[in-house]
Amino acid sequence: MNCDLRSALTEKIDNLNKPKGSLGRLEELALQIGLIQGTLSPTLNHPCHLLLGADHGIEREGVSVSPREVTWQQMVNFTQGGGGVNMFCRQHGFCLQLVDVGVDHDLTDHPTIMNKKVRMHGSGNILYEPAMTEEETDLCLTIGRQLVDDCYREGCNIISIGEMGIGNTSPSSLWMSLLLDIPLQQCVGAGAGLNNEGILHKLDILEKCQTRFLTAHPQWTPLLVLQELGGLEMATAVGAMLRAAELHMVVLVDGFIMSACALMASRLSPQFMPCAIFCHVGDEKGHRLMLQGMGVRPLLSLGLKLGEGTGALCAYPIVESAVRMLNEMNNFHDAKITKYF
């Protein structure tokens, strides 16, 4: 950590013409972004949003109220500009990239969806088998890194990531339980709208998944959790997050699934967390507990549970305000205002 830069940023923030600390979280964000970019005058350039689509074998076990065809149907809807993610990207000036890494449908008739399929029919059913092979895991991580490299070459220095994959709260709950050592019961929620009976069934299925994994791998590693109990779009998101941190980009973290990916990224690289801004806490049962376990505070609490990265996009204006504060507010000296603290 650059202690001199931290001191200089803190001094600059404290000398803006306002009471010290009076802009609260904006001051914290300004400091964080200045440290990420290594400058007293950070900027937000060419924001990009990666929307990663894939299906999950565990969906076959009735862990979601939505059938898997909703994944490809929504991906097509996104190409027509009709999704929540489309609206927020338009509103906040994000470049939206749609990426198929394992949707169980042929989407090649939709040229605006980038074809990066790692598996034709989605991840394996983690009740019985690993989600991915080691080679497929490496490929997902590589694709995520390449997607970020492409954005970076276009001038992007702030990125958000969303997902479309029916059933992906299930692997997210398993990641949370194992990586934070939290009982699975506290990690499993309603997903897209399960009733109490459905949640109990989901918990039963995931407990069996966890038992299978721990029996086979009593000395597991985070990377093995990613491979065996993950999803194609989640592994790709982790790769993207890790590369963004290497490039000193700001990473806007969305809801439950993307927070699980951020948790995984933090276990794979200590570089990641300083670059991450956690944008909102959603309604999924374990999300608040996950964020607490990571020691982070979300910017928003709007009851969101759509996914797609929409919570991260909604938080962008707050992040922009923090940067504008640092760059555009006058200081006491130049404004000729008596500094009273």
Catalytic residue numbers, as ranges: 308
Measured distance CA(260)–CA(286) in Å, rounded: 10
Q: Which two tokens stand for residue 339?
A: 């500094």
**C-alpha angle 257-261-266 in degrees, rounded to nearest 5:** 145
> In one letter, which amino acid is 209?
C
Measured distance CA(100)–CA(75) in Å, rounded: 8
Q: Smallest Cα–Cα separation from 167: which of 116, 120, 123?
A: 123
Non-local CB neighbours of 111 within 8 Å, separated by 6+ positions: none
In this structure, are residues 173 and 191 in contact, taking their beta carbons and an 8 Å threshold?
A: no
In this structure, are residues 210 and 177 in contact, taking their beta carbons and an 8 Å threshold?
A: yes
The neighbouring-strand residues paired with 331 are 16
